[in-house]
């Protein structure tokens, strides 16, 4: 909480640039990544890959994502509109780019790595209602921009990084990004130019009717950035294939950026190749030269480990087909962390994974066999609501009865309990109270959730410990009695049915330490039948794949 005296001093001039106690200009450097021409151009991949390469040089990085949405966080966003909601260990529900940051930097992040317009405005309104602005009119300039600058400077004090890397979501020209851009312009003004490096990620169009790359749209996008008082130091030109040197020259002369700092980042087979490319192009050296910093002796990510991992991606011995059974299959970003967990786990087993997207809304007992006949394993991912659940249950039943490896995540765990209750315990009306009132509510709401009416940020969220029972598949995979995983749910296994489920063969191999919350289930005499109430995909990283995904892929390989 900001003290009234401190805020009074901050509001006495037009700068309103609150500087946290202990902050020193120049101690922390800043890289600001912006986008132009189109969204979805790969800013998140570039940002996370750049952080990765900087850690090769022993530099401590702190990535931050700015989102212009008025949502307080990403918790209530529809996956069809925005992709998956990623959950951090502290319970922050955030943009999927934070997942990319964690995976590529091999580090866990927190609420200090994510800022939305909603958070900024709530902070400002709360202060205004408390009378902390002392009668001043509260404006975008300097108050909103001041809060943004305070946020990242506070991160510098709290986390002590060498470099803070800020990705501004969306594109240049978006109204909701204008004050983020202005704040970063002010930051560069206040911090001195050699402490801030601006990178613009643009897209070079190649219209099919012309058959050649055209740079005018990119030039206009960069010019829009410069009109807002920001001079880029580096231009990253995204394209499907290599652009000509003449295109780079046009970008260079129109943006005042030297040609050697105009980098062409075309499409790769995997995102894991991007850090190697950036290193080969010496982008890390360019950044360090602009910021006036030198590499350190010790690796924070060993480049040899990363190169070995990438080499293994290109040497698969077997290909397996894994079915993703869900209701958001029309937008693959809805399951991005699952896809990444599979993708970066497979190389450790010399495997290549081919995905089959199965829309469960249309699955029933008559066609489930045809849908699953060519898969070596299925994943039933998380989700909410009634649509598609009967199809998920049919897929789980088929995999259980036909010994097809199964991994259920969150909602998939709950669907497995419902399927087992119906078809093994004989409780034909077994269901979850989330979608239907029933005489056998084998899945019910968590006690602490019963009185909660708001949807945003109110679930059981973030990292929690899981006690793993010995002599189980889960223990064999984790090799530990206690693990920490991330949760995002309101419902759980109804305690009234736990004993009956266990008597009939269901093993709850992971439980909460202090509450009677079942967190892992498995079955004996099955190649791999395992469900988790948590999202194991959120903690899986390229250099530290989650054991459950490794075990699942290994079982699928044996099935092949």
β-pairing verdict for 491-493 and 431-432:
unpaired
**How many Å apart are CA 399 and CA 376, to the nearest integer?**
10
Partners of 229 in beta bridges: none
Are residues 529 and 292 in contact, defined by beta-carbon separation less than 8 angstroms?
no
Q: Which two tokens stand for residue 345?
A: 């786990």
Residues taking part in catalysis: 410, 535, 537
Cis-peptide into 142, omega within 30 deg: yes
8 A C-beta contact, residue 558 and residue 510:
no
Provide CB contacts within 8 A for 269, sequence distance 6+: 313, 314
Residues 462, 487 contacting (CB under 8 angstroms): yes
Residue 111, number of CB atoms within 10 A of its CB: 14
Strand intervals (E) in 256-363: 262-266, 318-326, 351-359
Residues present in the chain in total? 560
CA atoms within 13 A on the CB side of 508: 24
Taking CA atoms, 508 is separated from 33, 224, 257, 495, in Å, by 46, 57, 60, 12
Please work out, in degrees rounded to the nearest 5, the angle formed at the alpha carbon of residue 409 by the alpha carbons of 445 and 106: 120
- Maximal CA-CA distance, the chain: 74
Contact 174, 36 (CB under 8 A): no
Backbone angles phi, psi at 32, to 5 degrees: -110, 120
């Amino acid at each position: 909480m900001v003290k009234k005296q401190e805020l009074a001093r901050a509001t006495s001039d037009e700068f309103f640039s609150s500087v946290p106690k202990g902050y020193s200009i120049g101690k922390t450097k800043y890289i600001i990544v912006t986008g132009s021409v189109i969204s979805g151009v790969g800013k998140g991949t570039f940002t996370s890959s750049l952080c990765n390469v900087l850690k090769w040089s022993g530099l401590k990085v702190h990535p931050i994502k700015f989102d212009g949405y008025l949502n307080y966080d990403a918790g209530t966003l529809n996956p069809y509109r925005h992709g998956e909601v990623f959950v951090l260990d502290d319970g922050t529900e955030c943009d999927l780019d934070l997942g990319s940051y964690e995976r590529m930097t091999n580090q866990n992040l927190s609420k200090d790595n994510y800022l939305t317009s909603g958070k900024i405005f709530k902070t400002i309104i709360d202060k205004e209602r408390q009378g902390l602005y002392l009668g001043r009119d509260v404006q975008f300039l300097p108050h909103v921009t001041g809060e943004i600058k305070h946020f990242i400077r506070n991160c510098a004090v709290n986390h002590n990084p060498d470099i803070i890397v800020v990705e501004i979501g969306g594109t240049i020209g978006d109204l909701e990004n204008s004050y983020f851009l202005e704040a970063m312009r002010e930051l560069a003004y206040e911090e001195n130019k050699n402490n801030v490096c601006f990178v613009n990620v643009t897209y070079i169009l190649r219209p099919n009717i012309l058959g050649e790359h055209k740079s005018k749209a990119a030039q206009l996008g960069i010019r829009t950035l410069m009109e807002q008082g920001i001079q880029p130091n580096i231009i990253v030109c995204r394209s499907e294939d290599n652009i000509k040197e003449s295109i780079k020259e046009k970008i260079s002369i129109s943006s005042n950026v030297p040609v050697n700092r105009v980098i062409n980042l075309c499409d790769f087979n995997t995102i894991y190749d991007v850090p190697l490319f950036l290193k080969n192009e010496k982008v890390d050296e360019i950044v360090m030269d602009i910021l006036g910093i030198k590499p350190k002796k010790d690796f924070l990510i060993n480049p040899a480990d990363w190169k070995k991992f990438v080499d293994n991606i290109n040497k698969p011995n077997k290909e397996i087909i894994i079915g993703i059974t869900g209701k958001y299959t029309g937008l693959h970003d809805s399951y991005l962390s699952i896809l990444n967990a599979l993708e970066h786990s497979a190389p450790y087993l010399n495997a290549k994974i081919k995905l089959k997207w199965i829309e469960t809304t249309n699955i029933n007992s008559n066609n489930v066999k045809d849908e699953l006949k060519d898969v070596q394993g299925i994943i039933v991912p998380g989700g909410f609501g009634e649509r598609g659940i009967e199809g998920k249950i049919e897929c789980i039943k088929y995999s259980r009865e036909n010994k097809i490896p199964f991994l259920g995540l969150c909602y998939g765990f709950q669907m497995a309990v419902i399927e087992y209750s119906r078809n093994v315990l004989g409780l034909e009306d077994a269901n979850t109270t989330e979608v239907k009132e029933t005489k056998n509510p084998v899945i019910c709401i968590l006690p602490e959730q019963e009185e909660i009416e708001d949807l945003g940020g109110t679930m059981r969220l973030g990292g929690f410990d899981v006690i793993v029972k010995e002599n189980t598949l889960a223990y064999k995979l984790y090799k530990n009695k206690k693990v920490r995983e991330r949760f995002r749910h309101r419902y759980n296994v109804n305690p009234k049915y736990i004993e009956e489920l266990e008597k009939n063969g269901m093993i709850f191999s992971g439980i909460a330490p202090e509450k009677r919350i079942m967190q892992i289930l498995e079955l004996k005499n099955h190649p791999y039948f395992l469900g988790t109430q948590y999202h194991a995909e959120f903690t899986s990283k390229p250099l530290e794949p989650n054991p459950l995904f490794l075990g699942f892929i290994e079982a699928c390989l044996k099935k092949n």
